[in-house]
Amino acid sequence: MIAMSRRQIFLAAAVVVLAPTLTWGAGFALFEHGNRAMAMGGAFTGLADDPSALYWNPAGTAFQLDEGVKVMAGVTFITATQDFYGDSPYPGDGYEASQEDQVFFPPHFYVVYPLGDRIALNFAMMTPFGLGTWWDEGHAGRFISKRADLKLYNMSPGIAFKVNDNVGVAVGLDYGIGQVDLTRNIGLVNPYTQQLADIGQVHIHSDDLSNDGFGWNASIHAKLAHGFSVGATYRSAIEVDFEGVGSFTQYPTGYPDFDAVVGSIIPFGQKANLTSRIEFPEYWTVGVAWTHEQWTVSGSYGAQGWSSFQSLPINFTEHPELSGEEEFNYEDVDQYRLGAEYRASDTWAFQGGLLFDNTPQPKSAMSPLLGDGDRTGISVGFSWSHGAMQTDVGYLYLMFDERGTDGTSLSNYNGRYETQANLLGASLTLRF
Amino acid sequence: MKKIVIAAAVVALVGAGTAAAQVSFARYVALGDSITAGVASGGLMQFYQERSYPGMLAQYAQANDFQQPLVSAPGLPPLLELQSFYPPAIAPSSNTPGQPVNLALARPYNNLGVPGFTIYDMLNTVGDVNNLIAGTSTEPEADLILRTPAVEVPPGSGNYVPFPAITQAIALDPTFLTMWIGNNDILGAAAYATPIDGVTMTPLAAFEAMYAAALTTLTSQTTAPMVVMTIPDVTAIPFVTTLAPYLDVPGVGRVPLIGSGFPPGSPPGPLPEDAYVTLGASSLLAQGIGIPLELGGTGIPLPEDLTVVQAQAVPGVVLRQEEVQVINARIAAMNNAIRSLANAHGIPVLDVNAFFDRIVSGHPYVVGGVDLTADFLVGGIFSYDGVHPQNIGHGIIAVELIDLVNDYYGTNIPQVNLDEVLCMGGCSNPGPPAFALSKEAVYTEEAFAQLLDLFPVRLPQVHSTRNTSTD
């Protein structure tokens, strides 16, 4: 008899934002698309002398024309550890959680195909985004995120042109395929116990490889006197319009009437279509390298344009009441990279590097979805050449500044994140 | 049981305590009403008293020997329980109240919040534990908490002075004070769905004068640093906002409920969509009152406003927008008075009104990605009476209070651990129902009567002119 309509509207309001925001891609960006370049701290824009130039500076391939057709393929294995130390009021002083162990292995593949002595036809495939976060099922931040994965595969055909013996330029197309996978719990106060209850889970994912978008890149490389070379590259943003599915799973609370009311509002057991849009931001980099006898020293600066990345909606097509949108104020990031290579012989070369990479994420936005921080990296590696084949092995150790939300967390999940990552990879280059 | 003499307290009545160079929680005293006392779901019970905002501040500030007038389960009066969520049924959990378990404390309690108290009561009303023991209490909460109606000053002089809450607070020689009073100077207007000055609300000038007197007394007779709190919007609480003024009939649409007419004396008629029907209407709706004949109801209108029938106050259950505006204008004026009086004394104000406004205007209080709202039953903040916070509500008030105290007084009180508040006994899988489901329906008549007992209504004045001005 009692009018339930308003109550039900209220209950819907209480669970309305079921969709996690997607503005967290920042910390999932990868810059490791060639293991020799990685071993040099990624300071490769001004050097660009192997096929991984197709990421760092495609114009560099204009100076690789006399080496024949080159194919590089490789993979970088990435493991990260992240520990979280909570603050009160939530999740509370003394609370600790750690991310589950995961290994990511973004691949890269490059072809440089000389056409005459001034043009290179290029093709690149790399994964400029390819990381994820994964916390224990019961961790206190499970209503924000349990597991998140974001991938962008970039297939990039392009052409490089050698203007003269000193200057090369290149342009290319970036075709991106994005994948997203997010899982979190839905929390609501159980009216019987008056305590927080897990009433279900929402899993949002893109089903197939059909979510794509286009971008472009342009670059220039110049060889100067006294062994100096410089380069600059711009890679545009890639906007990917996503179509995906939200799957809702109900967790029974033990109170059938409560579960029934909750079940009448959230489409449990169904797949709800959704749309969203992710903008993978623009990136530009400039660099310089100096080669003298057995030594090369290089440095570069990079900037990624996260500041345009303010708010992204997730819209459930048939359930607009479940849609959500959140805003964050991300900042542009700067990267500084230094590298060196010592060619001990025709067969062996050794690399080392150092990098500083700022996070675009304001501390108020740090959460179990992504708790990023400024990074310092040190790297080492070696190359082994044998005939028409070269093998590059690189290792990078990334230390993240320990960083806390200092009570500013937008989702009121405050604490400190301690993060480090190890990256180890190998690339194989063949010349034909 | 023998009469309790609060002798120790009397000594402290003479003169103020020593000045504290820095904030100490050696003797923290809380003044206030039912919210301060920790009333939840219509009654006082140890579990909620210990988790009241003063209880949490005391716990986290490590206040010494913070004593409260604790009552064992099922509470005094027995707390309301949720017998069924759908269809909703809320009713007293027992016919037998719990027992006081800290009655013999030989000094005033640190938590001197008394359910039902207005600013007038805080300054004047006394309690006598002997009434409680004899079973003759007309105000059992005041008798339970204040216990001693008068004290002899100085001892042995034969000169007895009344011992209301404010005097008991001073007698404790507090080192820190909070005062959240004034809610009941306006809440009656929502509980009875009728704003009448002098009946369901305290006239503004009187409120202001008494509030000023309270601050003057406390600041002159104690040296305690202090925090006062504003009055939240009593028309945004679940007791008022939960029920719709219509029935949503499948295939027909919204059919308005029938009210007794507004202004009083007008003929009965359909309620407008922007009217609020209080939870007090729930048991009437269950009997078909307020529901049109064609929908199977009785066609008898819901009583919109307070009336007096055989010297008994019969509450109204409908708040029209005109009434809401009167109430809100009054709350704004009262809060202005609170802020300016506190300012004049250099006392920081915890603006609970602004805090609560933010929550009810679409900005839930987010905890770890979970939204806490002012929604009835599932919002997390309010208890089953739809008026008082439950322990989660008290937890977030305590968070705000601790922030303010730390900011203003430079203290370093650790924050409340809301994980413990939200997830007591584990957040997941709460287990099987604690009681059988569904009796007949709704927020029962007994539940409503129990709630009304907490609010003062001055019956002799009930015939005074209805005041719909905004002062």
* Chain A residues close to B283, C-beta within 8 Å: none
Inter-chain residue contact A2 with B441, CB threshold 8 Å: yes
Average pLDDT over residues B260-265: 92
pTM metric for this prediction? 0.87
Inter-chain residue contact A89 with B416, CB threshold 8 Å: yes
The CA distance from B53 to the nearest CA of chain A, in Å, is 14
* Chain B residues close to A141, C-beta within 8 Å: 368-369
Q: Looking at chain A, which residue has its C-alpha nearest residue B80?
A: A192
What is the total residue count of chain A?
432
Contact A346, A360 (CB under 8 A): no
Predicted local distance difference test score (pLDDT) of residue B369: 87
- How deeply is B406 buried, as exposed, middle or buried, from its count of CB atoms within 10 A (0-12, 13-18, 19+)? middle
Q: From CA B364, how far away is CA B358, in angstroms rounded? A: 8
- The residue among B458 and A390 whose pLDDT is bigger is A390
Instruction: Give the model's confidence band at B431: pLDDT under 50 very low, under 70 low, under 90 confident, else very high.
Output: very low
| Chains A–B, number of C-beta pairs less than 8 Å apart | 176
* Residue A324 reports pLDDT greater than 80: no
Q: From CA A225, how far away is CA A243, in angstroms rounded? A: 52
**ipTM here:** 0.87
Inter-chain residue contact A253 with B429, CB threshold 8 Å: yes
Q: From CA B162, how far away is CA B159, in angstroms rounded? A: 10
Helices (H) then strands (E): counts for chain B: 17, 20
Q: Looking at chain B, which residue has its C-alpha nearest residue A19?
A: B369
- Best B283, B361, B377 member to test A by mutation, with max A CBs in 10 Å, is B377
- Structure-token match 């995120």, residue found: A145
Average pLDDT over residues B215-233: 97
* Chain A residues close to B84, C-beta within 8 Å: 257
For residue A317, give both structure tokens.
């097509």
Q: pLDDT tens digit string along A395-410?
A: 999 999 999 999 999 8
Predicted local distance difference test score (pLDDT) of residue B468: 40
Predicted local distance difference test score (pLDDT) of residue B286: 86
The chain-wide mean pLDDT, for chain B, equals 87
- Best B427, B443, B445 member to test A by mutation, with max A CBs in 10 Å, is B427
Enumerate the domain spans of chain B.
Answer: 7-239+323-422, 240-322
Contact A43, A300 (CB under 8 A): yes
CB within 8 Å of A294: residues ≥ 6 apart: A342, A343, A344
Instruction: Give the model's confidence band at B458: pLDDT under 50 very low, under 70 low, under 90 confident, else very high.
Output: low
Does the beta carbon of B209 lie under 8 angstroms from any beta carbon of chain A? Answer: no
Q: Looking at chain B, which residue has its C-alpha nearest residue A191?
A: B377
CB within 8 Å of B439: residues ≥ 6 apart: B83, B84, B89, B91
Q: pLDDT tens digit string along B10-36?
A: 434 433 333 334 799 999 999 999 999
Q: Looking at chain A, which residue has its C-alpha nearest residue B421?
A: A195
Predicted local distance difference test score (pLDDT) of residue B245: 92
* Chain A residues close to B243, C-beta within 8 Å: 2-3, 6
* Chain A residues close to B288, C-beta within 8 Å: 1
Nearest Cα to A251, choosing from A320, A188, A192? A188
Nearest Cα to B218, choosing from B109, B122, B94, B350? B122
- Best A17, A195, A414 member to test B by mutation, with max B CBs in 10 Å, is A195
Chain B segment 373-402 residues within 8 A of A by beta carbon are: 373, 375-380, 383, 390-392, 395-396, 399
Q: pLDDT tens digit string along B63-92?
A: 999 999 999 999 999 999 998 887 778 899
* Chain B residues close to A198, C-beta within 8 Å: 427-429
Lowest mean pLDDT across A6-20, A41-55, B434-448: A6-20
Contact A254, A191 (CB under 8 A): no
CATH of B7-239+323-422 among 3.40.50.150, 3.40.50.1110, 3.30.470.20, 3.30.2320.50: 3.40.50.1110
- The residue among A13 and B386 whose pLDDT is bigger is B386
- Structure-token match 């390819």, residue found: A130
The CA distance from A143 to the nearest CA of chain B, in Å, is 5
The CA distance from A249 to the nearest CA of chain B, in Å, is 15
* Chain A residues close to B420, C-beta within 8 Å: 92
Does the beta carbon of B425 lie under 8 angstroms from any beta carbon of chain A? Answer: yes
DSSP A23: T
Average pLDDT over residues A236-245: 90
Q: Which of A5, A141, A191 sits opposite B82 (nearest CB)?
A: A191
Q: Which of B286, B391, B427 sits opposite A2 (nearest CB)?
A: B286
- Best B56, B383, B404, B419 member to test A by mutation, with max A CBs in 10 Å, is B419
Q: How far from B314 is each of B281, B388, B447, CA to CA, in Å?
A: 12, 22, 15
- The residue among A125 and B426 whose pLDDT is bigger is A125
Nearest Cα to B427, choosing from A359, A162, A189, A74? A189
Does the beta carbon of B250 lie under 8 angstroms from any beta carbon of chain A? Answer: no
Predicted local distance difference test score (pLDDT) of residue B461: 40
Return the sign of the alpha-carbon dihedral for residues A407, A410, A415, A416.
negative
Inter-chain residue contact B288 with A2, CB threshold 8 Å: no
- The residue among B282 and A43 whose pLDDT is bigger is A43
Q: How far from A343 is each of A294, A297, A389, CA to CA, in Å?
A: 5, 12, 16
* Chain B residues close to A143, C-beta within 8 Å: 368-370
* Residue B295 reports pLDDT greater than 90: no
Instruction: Give the model's confidence band at B183: pLDDT under 50 very low, under 70 low, under 90 confident, else very high.
Output: very high
Torsion angle (degrees, nearest 10) of CA A261, A263, A265, A270: -170
Q: From CA B239, how far away is CA B191, in angstroms rounded? A: 8
DSSP code per residue over B288-329: TTTS-GGGTS--PPBP-S-EEETTEEE---EE-HHHHHHHHH
Considering A181-195, A233-247, B155-169, the range whose residues carry the highest mean pLDDT is B155-169
Lowest mean pLDDT across A36-40, A385-389, B156-160, B435-439: B435-439
Contact A132, A149 (CB under 8 A): yes
Average pLDDT over residues A330-335: 87
Average pLDDT over residues B444-464: 59
Predicted local distance difference test score (pLDDT) of residue B425: 57
Inter-chain residue contact B419 with A190, CB threshold 8 Å: no
Q: Which of A17, A257, A367 sits opposite B84 (nearest CB)?
A: A257
Enumerate the domain spans of chain A.
Answer: 5-431
Average pLDDT over residues A265-277: 85
* Chain A residues close to B256, C-beta within 8 Å: none
Predicted local distance difference test score (pLDDT) of residue A7: 41
Q: Looking at chain A, which residue has its C-alpha nearest residue B393?
A: A194
Instruction: Give the model's confidence band at A56: pLDDT under 50 very low, under 70 low, under 90 confident, else very high.
Output: very high
The CA distance from A325 to the nearest CA of chain B, in Å, is 13
Inter-chain residue contact A3 with B247, CB threshold 8 Å: yes
The chain-wide mean pLDDT, for chain A, equals 89
Contact A119, A160 (CB under 8 A): yes
Helices (H) then strands (E): counts for chain A: 4, 22
Inter-chain residue contact B85 with A5, CB threshold 8 Å: no
Average pLDDT over residues B440-452: 66
- Best B83, B84, B85 member to test A by mutation, with max A CBs in 10 Å, is B85
For the domain spanning A5-431, the CATH number is 2.40.160.60
* Residue B237 reports pLDDT greater than 90: yes
* Chain B residues close to A190, C-beta within 8 Å: 430
Asked, as a colleague might, if the bond just before B263 is cis with ω within 30 of 0, I would say: yes
Nearest Cα to B387, choosing from B31, B39, B32? B39
Predicted local distance difference test score (pLDDT) of residue A312: 61
Lowest mean pLDDT across A14-18, B15-19, B357-361: B15-19
- Percent of chain B residues past pLDDT 90, beyond the cut: 72
Inter-chain residue contact B378 with A251, CB threshold 8 Å: no
* Chain B residues close to A189, C-beta within 8 Å: 372, 378-380, 392
